[in-house]
Amino acid sequence: MYLKHALRAATALTFVATAAAHAQSITIATVNNGDMIRMQGYTDKFTEATGIDVEWVTLEENVLRQRVTTDITTKGGQFDIMTIGMYETPIWGANGWLVPLEGMSAEYDVDDILPAMCNGLSHEGTLFAAPFYGESSMVMYRTDLMEKAGLEMPDAPTWQFIREAAAAMTDRDNDINGICLRGKAGWGEGGAFITVTGNSFGARWFDEDWKPQFDQPEWNEALTFFVDMMAESGPAGYATNGFNENLSLFQQGKCGMWIDATVAASFVTNPDDSTVADKVGFALAPNSDGVDKRSNWLWAWALAIPAGTQQEDAAKQFIEWATSKDYIELVAENEGWANVPPGARTSLYENPEYQKVPFAKMTLDSILSADPNNPTVKPVPYVGIQFAAIPEFAGIATQVSQEFSAVYAGQQSVEEALEKAQAFTAEEMEAAGY
């Protein structure tokens, strides 16, 4: 009898041990953004439904880039899913480093993903990453200060109007800056902003033969305009301001206008953190008078599967869950529609409940008006709006943005910076074989 019980117990233990040994687990590398953290909180629901455990590795954006780049180029196999952006996806997809996201289920409805996002995350028509959330950039402004200045913000303003409004809203005595913009060095920080500003003045990074274009008048005009406007109406020390610094200034009521990522709209309208939550209006990113391109970018944080993972099916299952319509509804149900991951799916913007969110329409309009294949007026050989999707870009743009930041800090002139940018970029591109 005793032996029988012991044998039963041993069999049961063996079953449990076998089940545990076979329990699948995937590791996901991600960034510490609000939407990503929220997703981590709902992971239990995914595990409950599928039996797949999820381990998160959350890192700061630049560390994450370095970490996942090292891992994917060496086939380290540390991650089953990586959070990457629109810059890396087409390059890594072309190199065969990512698993194509083909054969997704019918319920997933791939066609519902916004076309702009789909294009930006594909290479030669194959989707390599699914957008978790997408963003463009737009103008966020203080409605009360605009009214006080006796001006009305059009839905699609020009840079000339923005400059005039910024000057009118500036009140140095009360520490209010008419406009807050990124000046911080870094290709994804100030570099991204000045690139889209350049686009809206007709400037471009390269001509069709990959020759750098910083010696052209459009760049001089764009950079001079930016520097002069910021000197008139920008905050002191803006050369070191990035997204977070400007968000902080805007939330404290120290900016009349802020042009930045559409995802910031949910932060500045959140009464828990923002002192001006009920006084914020939105408009499309500006263009220069007579230039048919606006200064809005296009970006997505997307989930991709590195080639060589042992957990491809489980990883696909997770991506389907995290970027599905059901996930959006799960978040809306628990945290309200204003907190769902924006900018990825068409159906979200057709939802009457989401249409009530104040920044929903402007976000969609901004995303739809961004065209990564034609980012500026003249033709370009690259894809990307605030970047050129070539491997050399990150290094070159970081250096160029450092030169521009030195102008913002008053350490050199616009002409000097453009001359250095031209020489450096030409040298690097030549060395890279372009």
Partner 1 sequence: MARAVTTRCKSLNTALAWAIRLLIFFPILWTILISFKTEAQAIASPPLFLNFNWTLENYAIVQERSDYMRFLWNSVIIAGGSTILGVIIAVPAAWAMAFVPSKRTKDILLWMLSTKMLPAVGVLYPIYLLFIRLGLLDTRGGLVVVLMLINLPIIVWMLYTYFREIPGEILEAARMDGATLKEEILYVLTPMAIPGIASTVLLNFILAWNEAFWTLNLTAVDAAPLTAFIASYSSPEGLFFAKLSAASTMAIAPILILGWFSQKQLVRGLTFGAVK
What are the residues binding partner 1 (CB under 8 A)?
27, 29, 31-34, 37, 40, 55, 57-63, 66-67, 70-71, 73-79, 188, 242-244, 247-248, 251-252, 254, 261, 263-264, 267, 272-273, 275
Shorter beta-carbon distance to partner 1: residue 27 or 295: 27
Least distance from C-beta 203 to partner 1, angstroms? 26
Shorter beta-carbon distance to partner 1: residue 73 or 355: 73
Shorter beta-carbon distance to partner 1: residue 41 or 410: 41
Nearest to 259 by CA among 135, 156, 139, 370: 139
Shorter beta-carbon distance to partner 1: residue 78 or 216: 78
Shorter beta-carbon distance to partner 1: residue 273 or 430: 273
Least distance from C-beta 237 to partner 1, angstroms? 13
Contacts of 48 (CB under 8 A, 6+ apart): none
DSSP letter (8 states) at residue 172: G
As a whole number of angstroms, the distance between CA 368 and CA 370 comes to 6
Nearest to 196 by CA among 397, 363, 396: 397
Least distance from C-beta 105 to partner 1, angstroms? 28
Q: Which two tokens stand for residue 179?
A: 């406009």
Least distance from C-beta 79 to partner 1, angstroms? 7
> Count of residues for the chain?
434
Shorter beta-carbon distance to partner 1: residue 18 or 252: 252
Least distance from C-beta 248 to partner 1, angstroms? 4
Least distance from C-beta 125 to partner 1, angstroms? 30
Least distance from C-beta 377 to partner 1, angstroms? 29
Q: Which two tokens stand for residue 150?
A: 């006796």
Nearest to 185 by CA among 3, 392, 434, 409: 409
As a whole number of angstroms, the distance between CA 369 and CA 371 comes to 6
Question: 364, 292 in Cβ contact below 8 A?
Answer: no
Question: 81, 36 in Cβ contact below 8 A?
Answer: no
As a whole number of angstroms, the distance between CA 295 and CA 312 comes to 38
Least distance from C-beta 100 to partner 1, angstroms? 24
Contacts of 333 (CB under 8 A, 6+ apart): none
Shorter beta-carbon distance to partner 1: residue 42 or 382: 42
- For strand 25-31 and strand 53-59, is the pairing parallel, antiparallel, or unpaired? parallel
| Beta bridge partners of residue 130, listed in sequence order | 303
Shorter beta-carbon distance to partner 1: residue 34 or 381: 34
